[in-house]
Chains A and B, each alone.
Chain A
Amino acid sequence: AQTVTQSQPEMSVQEAETVTLSCTYDTSESDYYLFWYKQPPSRQMILVIRQEAYKQQNATENRFSVNFQKAAKSFSLKISDSQLGDAAMYFCAYRSASTSGTYKYIFGTGTRLKVLA
């Protein structure tokens, strides 16, 4: 069974600085997707960034980028130029891409990010 682990329950970053959130996962599959979702307080979860496992190039979305290390099963999120609006819970998630697999999303326990003004 696949698992997702986030070992940092809480992180803080100064406004305009850079922060990296860590995620590791375990799977025996070779084809899958990894995600970072953001959940602001009392608001719905939204996708921040997605990585396809078959792509070697790390995904980037504006100030958000990932460091995907497939062999190490590591998937970290880097937030550059942090803004007050980045404060939220961040969840790392895994989903199989195999047509014979399940399409459920498996989430980690989350990292609460605080942004200090």
Chain B
Amino acid sequence: DTGVSQDPRHKITKRGQNVTFRCDPISEHNRLYWYRQTLGQGPEFLTYFQNEAQLEKSRLLSDRFSAERPKGSFSTLEIQRTEQGDSAMYLCASEEVLNTEAFFGQGTRLTVV
């Protein structure tokens, strides 16, 4: 088990382009979380899944953001029409339902130019 894997590690995109990030959680983990972290700040909640069901989505998440976990395994986070304010580290974490500990990936650093 290699832990939570995120791809890509870095992404530079032009304003207005769409980007998609992938997260592969630890295999037996039912819950999967997406967070956004800007420099010097704590992780900010975006959304989470339990299996394939998206149970909560932050009100801060605009309609340009969408996340999926189609088969309850990996997840994707898509940002449409990127803006410079979207530049941040996007973190994925997974958790086993019966064990309260979130394991984090190394994140995807997005730079919008």
B-contacting residues of A (Cβ < 8 Å)?
4, 6, 33, 37, 43-47, 50, 91, 95, 97, 102-110
Q: A104-B33, A104-B56, A105-B33 are contacts. A97–B100 as well, Cβ < 8 Å?
A: yes
**Closest residue of chain B to A4, judged by CB?**
B42
* Contact-residue bracket for chain B: 20 to 34
**Inter-subunit contact B42/A109 (CB<8 Å):** yes
Measured CB to CB, the closest approach of chain A to B6, in angstroms, equals 9
What is the CA–CA distance of A103 and B91 in the complex, to the nearest angstrom? Answer: 16
**Inter-subunit contact A44/B31 (CB<8 Å):** no
**Inter-subunit contact B106/A33 (CB<8 Å):** no
Contact for B101 among A50, A91, A102, A106, CB less than 8 A:
A50
What is the CA–CA distance of A108 and B65 in the complex, to the nearest angstrom? Answer: 23
Contact for A110 among B40, B103, B107, CB less than 8 A:
B40
Contact for B45 among A44, A105, A108, CB less than 8 A:
A105
**Closest residue of chain B to A6, judged by CB?**
B42
Q: A106-B45, A109-B41 are contacts. A33–B56 as well, Cβ < 8 Å?
A: no
**Inter-subunit contact B100/A95 (CB<8 Å):** yes
Measured CB to CB, the closest approach of chain B to A77, in angstroms, equals 15
Measured CB to CB, the closest approach of chain B to A107, in angstroms, equals 4
What is the CA–CA distance of A103 and B98 in the complex, to the nearest angstrom? Answer: 12
**Inter-subunit contact A45/B104 (CB<8 Å):** yes
Cβ–Cβ < 8 Å partners of A95 in chain B: 100
Measured CB to CB, the closest approach of chain A to B24, in angstroms, equals 14
What is the CA–CA distance of A21 and B16 in the complex, to the nearest angstrom? Answer: 41
Cβ–Cβ < 8 Å partners of A97 in chain B: 100
> Is B25 an interface residue, CB under 8 A from the partner?
no
The A-contacting residues of B in range 19-61, CB under 8 angstroms, are 31, 33, 35, 40-45, 48, 50, 55-56
Cβ–Cβ < 8 Å partners of B104 in chain A: 37, 44-46
The A-contacting residues of B in range 49-108, CB under 8 angstroms, are 50, 55-56, 91, 93, 95, 100-107
Cβ–Cβ < 8 Å partners of A109 in chain B: 40-42
